[in-house]
Amino acid sequence: MNRTASTRVVCCLDGLDPAYLAAAETPEWDRIAATGTTGECRGAVPSLTNVNNVGIVAGTHPGEHGITGNTYFDREAGEQVYMEEPSFLRCETRFERYADRGEAVAAVVAKEKLERFVGRGCAITASAQSPLDWLVDAVGEPPGIYSGQASRWVLDAALHLLDSCDPDVLYVSTTDVIPHKHEPGSLEANAWVGALDEGLGSLAARDITLCATADHGMNRKTRCVDLDRVLAAEGLSGEVIALIRDRHTYHHQNLGGAAYVYLGTLTDASATIGDAEGTGADTGDVAAVADRLEGIPGVDLALSAAAAAERFALLPDRIGDLLVLGDRETVFGSLEDCGTGNDRAADTYGNVDLRSHGSHHERTVPYVSNREIDLAYNAAAFAALDEGE
């Protein structure tokens, strides 16, 4: 241990849209803000768990850290791959840099996939999905990660870890099952916010420097657009990657507001999209397809890889020929799988009723700190605390 100040603690409160805070009583959040500051900042796009948690841990944007979705398409293998292994990281994390200078880093998270991502440089890592025995002995058996209580267990485990191990740096990441299932102001949502608030208050009572923020917000979605069917209707072929897709489908049914489209060839007589190996698409053709997709109801933006990389600081070789983002009410996915009842071959969209994220409409998130900081992006949370040392 090489402490120069109190323990720096960053909490990523998964799915904590500002609307949930506005609809609930948060005395501990307010108490923390009174000694420091609170406000709203921006997360990364796509507004997804993997992308933003790694952004916070790495302290940078997806164009540098390399995580551009929960899933990506491996062009060489010709298959979709879960982006959940630390080997996907393209840069050193802040945790590794802290460890290199002799600081002890610890992390406790809800999901095992995040434990693998944040583990580099950590002396201790734990998750509610695969808890350490000594944490279970101290805090109790964690609830299932699809329960609202899982987030409170993570915060309680973080408090015990802080008290028993006295790390220099501590990272905490909860789970978003409640905001996926319940609207702001509901009994379930307010109970979840209350549990988060109490957990933050317990941490803030210790001698720590704290910043709590979120990875993404959440919106009610009422329209599902099947981009595979849209492409077919437009005479196009290609691979559509729903970027929210991961192993935890109970939360979101793999329906989110962002997708990458890897274009193949036109099936009509107009032109060819992409080269013979399917490794990229002609710039002019991509622009034409983007224009056509932006005319589809529910599609807010259809950006070429170059435009998407520039606008949202993404890694060009980890995204499709197009990034497609939905409007506030729209998710992308298969109509056969999303239970819309619209399964006719001619249908390209159907009605849904769920809460999800992924688009640029869920990138605004809250933050609070017991220090006076000005946080523009959630990925700068650790840097903001370091500057206050």
Query: How is the chain split into domains, by residue range?
Result: 7-217+363-387, 219-357
> Among the listed ranges 12-16, 46-50, 68-72, which one has the minimum average pLDDT value?
68-72
| Alpha helices for 140-274 (secondary structure H) | 149-165, 177-181, 187-204, 227-233, 249-252
pLDDT band at 81 (very low <50, low <70, confident <90, very high): confident
* C-alpha–C-alpha distance, residues 11 and 311, integer Å: 27
Asked if 7-217+363-387 and 219-357 have one fold, the answer is: no
Mean per-residue pLDDT of the chain? 90
Instruction: With a cut of 60, say whether residue 281 has pLDDT above it.
Output: no
Instruction: With a cut of 50, say whether residue 317 has pLDDT above it.
Output: yes
Q: Are residues 350 and 187 in contact, defined by beta-carbon separation less than 8 angstroms?
A: no
Q: What are phi and psi of 55, to 5 degrees?
A: -60, -40
Instruction: With a cut of 80, say whether residue 261 has pLDDT above it.
Output: yes
Token pair in block for residue 130:
């695969």
pLDDT band at 284 (very low <50, low <70, confident <90, very high): low
Q: Which amino acid is present at 33? A: A
Which class does domain 7-217+363-387 fall in? alpha beta
Instruction: With a cut of 80, say whether residue 62 has pLDDT above it.
Output: yes
CA 365 to chain CA centroid, Å, is: 11
Q: Are residues 140 and 158 in contact, defined by beta-carbon separation less than 8 angstroms?
A: no
Instruction: With a cut of 50, say whether residue 275 has pLDDT above it.
Output: no
R_g of the chain, CA atoms, integer Å: 21
Instruction: With a cut of 50, say whether residue 306 has pLDDT above it.
Output: yes
Q: Are residues 323 and 258 in contact, defined by beta-carbon separation less than 8 angstroms?
A: yes
Mean pLDDT value across residues 269-277: 37
Tell which wins on pLDDT, 194 or 4.
194
Provide the pLDDT for residue 158.
Answer: 98
Kindly state the percentage of the chain with pLDDT values over 70.
89
Which class does domain 219-357 fall in? alpha beta
Alpha-carbon distances of 327 from 92, 176, 302, rounded to whole Å: 34, 21, 11
Instruction: With a cut of 50, say whether residue 208 has pLDDT above it.
Output: yes
Q: Which one, of 155, 152, 148, 86, lies nearest residue 121 by Cα?
A: 86
* C-alpha–C-alpha distance, residues 228 and 234, integer Å: 10
Token pair in block for residue 310:
């520039």
Residues 159-207: tens digit of each pLDDT:
999 999 999 999 999 999 999 999 999 999 999 999 999 999 999 999 9
Q: Which one, of 141, 116, 388, 199, lies nearest residue 107 by Cα?
A: 116
pLDDT band at 145 (very low <50, low <70, confident <90, very high): confident
Tell which wins on pLDDT, 230 or 338.
230
Count of C-beta atoms within a 10 Å radius of residue 144: 11
Q: Are residues 329 and 319 in contact, defined by beta-carbon separation less than 8 angstroms?
A: no
Tell which wins on pLDDT, 244 or 203.
203
Mean pLDDT value across residues 114-120: 90
CA dihedral 44, 47, 48, 50 (to 10 degrees): 0
Mean pLDDT value across residues 150-156: 97
Alpha-carbon distances of 332 from 3, 4, 49, rounded to whole Å: 47, 48, 17
Mean pLDDT value across residues 111-139: 93
Instruction: With a cut of 90, say whether residue 38 has pLDDT above it.
Output: yes
Instruction: With a cut of 70, say whether residue 22 has pLDDT above it.
Output: yes
pLDDT band at 9 (very low <50, low <70, confident <90, very high): very high
Residues 323-382: tens digit of each pLDDT:
999 999 999 998 876 665 555 555 888 999 999 999 999 999 999 999 999 999 999 999
> Among the listed ranges 110-119, 178-187, 292-301, 376-385, which one has the minimum average pLDDT value?
110-119
Q: 């791959």: which residue's tokens? A: 81
* C-alpha–C-alpha distance, residues 340 and 350, integer Å: 6
Q: 């437009």: which residue's tokens? A: 234
Q: What is the pTM assigned to this prediction?
A: 0.91
Provide the pLDDT for residue 270.
Answer: 40
